[in-house]
Every structure is written in C-alpha cells, then in structure tokens.
Amino acid sequence: MARRYPLSDALQAFVARTRSYAESDPSITAQRAAYERMAAAFTPPRPPGLRISELCLDRLPTVRLYRPTDLPPATGWPTVLYLHGGGWMLGGLGSHEFITAELALELGALVVAVDYRLAPEHPYPAALDDCLAVWRRLRNGSLGEPVDTSRLLVMGDSAGGNLAAALCLALREAGEPLPCGQALVYPALGDTQTPSRNSCADAPLLSRTDLDACLAAYLPHAGDRRDPLALPLRARDFRGLPPAFVAVAEFDPLRDDGERYCEALHEADVDAEFFPGVGLVHGALRARGVEEVETLYRALYQALRGFLGN
C-alpha cells in the first residue's frame, strides 16, 4: 500500500494538477512533450521590465539570457547560471522560465539558462561539458552582456542541482575561478540507498523508481557512478568549494542527498545553509502561492542576495 504523505491541501492540489499532465506512453519523445505541457501550465506570462534573448554559438548549447531592461551596472551584471531539472532527460530553455525570469527581476541580475544535451541520447558527461563551456564563455565575456565575474553564481534544481555541484568540483579541480555561491534545490547528488530513498520510495512527483530510471539514463556505465563529477557525494574532499544554499523537500527520495552534501561542506569548513523543506515535495518550486513554498523562496532569495552582495 502506498504511503499517505501529510501534505497541505494547497500542495495536494498542486500535486494533482501536475499529475494531470502525466503521459502513459513511455517513449522519451512523449515524456518530453508531456513535461513541456506541464511546465507551460505553471509558467506565468513574461513580466514587463525584462529583456530576453537567445544565443546559438558554435560548440555551445543554446542559451537564453534574461536581464532587466535597465542599463547594466558599471562593473557588469551580477549573474546567475541556471541549470534546469528534469532528470537529465527532460526540460529545456522554456521549462524553467517560471523561475529564471523572476530571478532576473528580483535580483537585478543577468540569468543565463542552458539548453544542455539530454540523456539517454547524450549520457554523462555531455550535460556537464555543456554547462562548463557556457560558464567559461560567461567568465570571458563572450555572451554579449557585461558580467561582473566577482558576482557570478550557479544554481540548479534536481538534476540541475547535480550539475551545479559538479561544475563547482570540476572548476576547483582545474584550478579555475569558482562561483561566488552555489544554490541547489532538491539536488540529486548520489546513488546510495539512503533512508529517504526508502521512506519516500513512493513520494508524490518523484518515486525511487523514477529516480533510478533517471540515473540509469544519465549514467549507463557502472564506472561513471564512481566519478564525483557524475555524483558529487562521491567526492573525497569538499574543501575550497563555494558557499552553498541547499534546499530539500521533506517528502522526496532525494532529501538525504542534499542534507549529506551540506554536512560534507560543513566538515570541510565551507559555509553552507540547509533548508529542510518541511512539507514540500520534489518539484515544489512551481507551486507558487503555497505558503510552505513561499517560505522556500524567501530563504532562497535571501541566500542569493547574500552571495551576490545585493
């Protein structure tokens, strides 16, 4: 018998609405189309005061840039590189516009969304390679907007949280400049059978079966699961990484991933704020107006402003 999770009425309604877009056809094409329909249903109209453009550059994934219509600061834009969730298999430039557009206005920042290559057609390390390539172009100022490289951070949710953490590890190992902060929301960081994978095995919107399928698509080769750039909790050394904000959802098989990552950062003397996501489910960033989700947004924006010195 499936466990009954004690969600608020508002969050139960969000779960039901999200599930109404589920697709019975298991093909990746059908699943991607269903995900895009769901994402569009939760994406508000683009707000005024925002300039949005796309860039298609050689040897880079397409990126979408969001920034206020104001003139950039003299030092360049504070910038957020946003890496979307979707199990490494779903999503794209439009699927997370519900948050990327808002981030740009709330922070007075440039937000860069990355249309990285998706599994299973492009397994690890394709997505990470794409994200690193965009990061490096951002830092060298070749995406057409002036960037304040001292105020450049990375953020991601779910699979995007994995990529954000991996990007920080990869840059540290390469001796390259690091982001001023990393913000991870219900990130997928390991593959061990943690307590939350068992207690939340049939959780709403992400079950353990769903999670295992995503990991299998992204990491089809067993050896890759030992690579910290694939699963950042495999890292042996977390010293010198950027300060972090890590939010999890209480009713999510991934809950322990984020908590363990924060613990590892603390042990390495890295500043890390942990948000426990009481009452939340995976994917709850889309549930605007729900009080427990608004609590998450308030903590998130406070952390992001702190990273950017706003």
Which positions are catalytic?
Answer: 158, 252, 282
Three-state SS at 67: strand
- What are the backbone dihedrals phi and psi of residue 35, each rounded to the nearest 5 degrees, phi first? -65, -40
Angle at 124 between CA 238 and CA 282, to 5 degrees: 70
What is the DSSP code (8-state) at residue 281? B
Q: How many CB atoms within 10 Å of residue 28?
A: 15
Alpha helix (H) residue ranges in 20-155: 28-41, 97-107, 126-139
Phi, psi of 182 (to 5 degrees): -130, 130
Distance CA 138, CA 141 (A): 5
Distance, CA of 205 to CA of 251 (rounded, Å): 10
* Orientation of helix 9-19 relative to helix 291-308, angle to 10°: 90
Query: What 3-state class would DSSP assign to 274?
Result: strand
Cβ–Cβ < 8 Å for 100, 157 = no
Q: Which residues touch 79 (CB under 8 Å, ≥6 apart)? A: 109, 110, 111, 112, 138, 147, 148, 151, 152, 153
- Token pair 């939350």 is found at 196
